[in-house]
A and B are shown apart, each in its own frame.
Chain A
Amino acid sequence: MDNLIENKGFVFSKESLRKKFRWSEFLSEKIISGVAFLSITIIVLIFVFVFRETLPIFHHKKETVKIESVQKQEQYGGAEASGPTNASGQEQYGVTTTDTMMIENQARVEDTVVHEADEATVKSLIGKEWLPVSDRPRYGLIPLLVGTLKITLLAILFAAPIAILAALFSAAFAPPWLREIIKPAIELLAGFPSVVIGFFALMVMASFFQDIFGYDTRLNAFVGGIAMALAAIPIIYTITEDALTAVPRSYTEASLALGASRWQTALFVTLPAATPGIFAAVLLGVGRVFGETMIALMATGNAAMISANPFESVRTLAATIGAEMAEVVFGDTHYSVLFLIGSLLFIFTFGLNALAEFYVKGKLVKRFQGK
């Protein structure tokens, strides 16, 4: 034995076994952990930034300018200054020229910085009107929230059954060669630019469905919902498919050996065994639709109204940020409200992902350990 060790030039002694400091190992370890922390830090900083910009809304100042509740006129398009002169009692839309608008906007900046957040604004957040650019701006989030939920519901109602059945087909029924075509093909769709889907919905689907259903508003929640479903299907499909193929083969074999047909096996054994994964897939689909901006902007009509009719236009939270952030005055109440919407989206998606993660883990552990 001794000879063997010596031959390799390896002697067991205090000297040869002393701890050595290895520079390359130390460095690479630090770099890798540094990169990991950097990415986490960036996310946290974005989080902090979004919330910080939201704060002014809730930060009341005493010298608020009273809002005359008697004021009946409303004006849109930055025509504040000319408000009182307009005695006709009608609402005006974008009457002022660009030049005056700019001047007036500047005047408004100074104005708004003083009474940055008044109580009326905070109260109007739970109101039913979204009129951010008017004499008496109202930032009611309810219609946006309702619109978002409506379109999410519609999109998931379309997407989930289609995606789940497609996944069931490719996981349980499709011959291997077909599966190898279908799965990558649908997964590629997940990378499809949403602006293209939005464009397609705007130009083609809207008219197509209008011919079928004969609704009045060409762009509405229904069209938007279907377009969003196109974006959500690949995500739900991929994760459902993974969940279904992860069901142990012994399950399917057990069922088939009992004389169950392939359909019965897929429906009563494979699908139930994969429910936690499918649930997670649907939640991620919801998250995708909830945060989808471009399609909402292009295909939903963007009218902030509360209605149960799927053929009415809606305005979603994400689309509101997308549409208005570029036009808003920096530091304005409107600006802060848009960030509040951003925070809401953030919290919602965060919660959804957390739910998917923890629910699925908990459920799986329960299922496969029999607790």
Chain B
Amino acid sequence: MKQPKIQTRELSLFYGEKMALNSISMDIPEKEVTAFIGPSGCGKSTFLRTLNRMNDLIPFVKITGEVLVDSLNIYDKQIDVVNLRKKIGMVFQKSNPFTKSIYENVAYGPKINGIRERKKLNEIVETSLKNAFIWEEVKDRLYDSAMGLSGGQQQRMCIARALAVEPEIILMDEPASALDPISTAKIEELIFELKKNYTIVIVTHNMQQAARVSDYTAFFYLGELIEFGKTRKIFTTPDNKQTEEYITGRFG
């Protein structure tokens, strides 16, 4: 296993009194794709959102334990959430472009980081869109509203938007669940390309997808991490009986 990028140490999360994550410890390796699988409500999305502190937005959430990114505890009081999220980008289940032009969408991140120079912005927008494999489709309509793109294009544009702030880690919360098979294939191809430069964590309901794109897989069930290991191993010879049952479709 490569150098771990993210490490969690006995991470537990409570919604009020209800425990949603129970003491999760895992090492997510750098520049690999790690997939989280498990039935609905098992806490995989919640866990993903603790990794860039998106759960901070929800009232009555209590978190114990540690999340170390590059050996730094991101729940430390000294950590600035805003800067943290620049390092850890996120792509959501439902594509959520701003009601602005495609250009403005991608340039939003760099702009709030204080980049004003037009030439530099143009450059960032172009590279980001190219890296998200969508440049060819939108280069003639950069100034049209992003709402006019198809669902799959919107999602890739959202990935481009996340790339534009130059993160090191990209969290993806079921990025292809609302897309047709062709768009899904494009997203998966994109993930495969992106892992050369980024650490990617992806939550998915689609087990074939997990098997196709990921290097490591974690199986969650009822807020607990049941099994974590190389994808090949999890899908062929899992250690845990529950994992095997889930993967073979006997429950979940």
Q: Tell me the A residues contacting B by CB distance below 8 Å.
A: 175-176, 248, 250-261, 264, 268-269, 272-273, 367-371
Contacts and interface: CB of A to CB of B under 8 A. Distances in A.
B92 A259 contact: no
Given A268-B108, A368-B147, A370-B148, A259 B96 contact: no
Interface string B69-113: 000000000000011111001101010111110000000110011
B44 interface: no
Contact of B85 (A176, A257, A367): A257
B92 A254 contact: yes
Given A273-B98, A273-B99, A368-B99, A258 B108 contact: yes
A260 B148 contact: no
Given A257-B52, A258-B109, A367 B99 contact: yes
B182 interface: no
B57 interface: yes
B213 interface: no
A264 B89 contact: no
Given A252-B57, A253-B54, A370-B145, 5 more contacts: A248-B96, A257-B90, A268-B108, A273-B99, A369-B148
B216 to A, nearest CB: 23
A176 B82 CA distance: 22
Nearest to B84: A259
A257 B81 CA distance: 10
Contacts of B94: 250
Interface residues of B, number: 32
Nearest to B93: A250
A346 to B, nearest CB: 35
B99 A256 contact: no
A259 B148 contact: no
Contact of B98 (A251, A264, A371): A251
Contacts of B146: 370
Interface string B214-228: 000000000000000
B149 interface: yes
Contact of A369 (B59, B92, B112, B147): B147
Nearest to A264: B112
Contact of A258 (B57, B59, B97, B162): B162
Interface of A: prevailing SS: helix
Contacts of B31: none
A370 B112 contact: no
A254 B98 contact: yes
Given A254-B158, A370-B147, A260 B112 contact: yes
B59 A176 contact: yes
A269 B111 CA distance: 13
Contacts of A368: 99, 147
Contacts of A176: 59
A259 B165 contact: yes
Contacts of B82: 259-261
A250 B148 contact: no
A175 B59 contact: yes
A151 B59 CA distance: 43
Which residue among A257, A269, A273, A369 has the maximum number of chain B CB atoms within 10 Å of its CB? A257
A259 B109 contact: yes
A41 B34 CA distance: 67
Contacts of A268: 108, 112
Interface in B45-78: 52, 54, 57, 59
B156 interface: no
Given A253-B54, A258-B112, A264-B112, A370 B85 contact: no
B129 to A, nearest CB: 15
30 contacts: A175-B59, A176-B59, A250-B92, A252-B57, A253-B54, A253-B57, A254-B92, A254-B161, A256-B54, A257-B54, A257-B162, A258-B86, A258-B89, A258-B112, A258-B162, A259-B83, A259-B109, A261-B82, A264-B112, A268-B112, A272-B99, A273-B98, A273-B99, A367-B99, A368-B147, A369-B147, A369-B148, A370-B145, A370-B148, A371-B148
Contacts of A269: 98
Nearest to B86: A259
B89 A257 contact: yes
Which residue among A248, A253, A259 has the maximum number of chain B CB atoms within 10 Å of its CB? A259
A205 B84 CA distance: 49
Contacts of A369: 147-148
Contacts of B85: 256-259
Contacts of B90: 253, 257
Which residue among A176, A260, A261, A268 has the maximum number of chain B CB atoms within 10 Å of its CB? A260
A92 to B, nearest CB: 65
Interface string B122-157: 000000000000000000000011111100000000
Given A259-B113, A369-B147, A253 B59 contact: no
Which residue among B52, B94, B99, B158 has the maximum number of chain A CB atoms within 10 Å of its CB? B99
A248 B94 CA distance: 11
Contacts of A255: 98, 108
A176 B59 CA distance: 8
Listed from nearest, the 6 A-B pairs whose CB atoms lie closest are: A370-B147, A259-B86, A370-B148, A250-B96, A257-B90, A370-B145
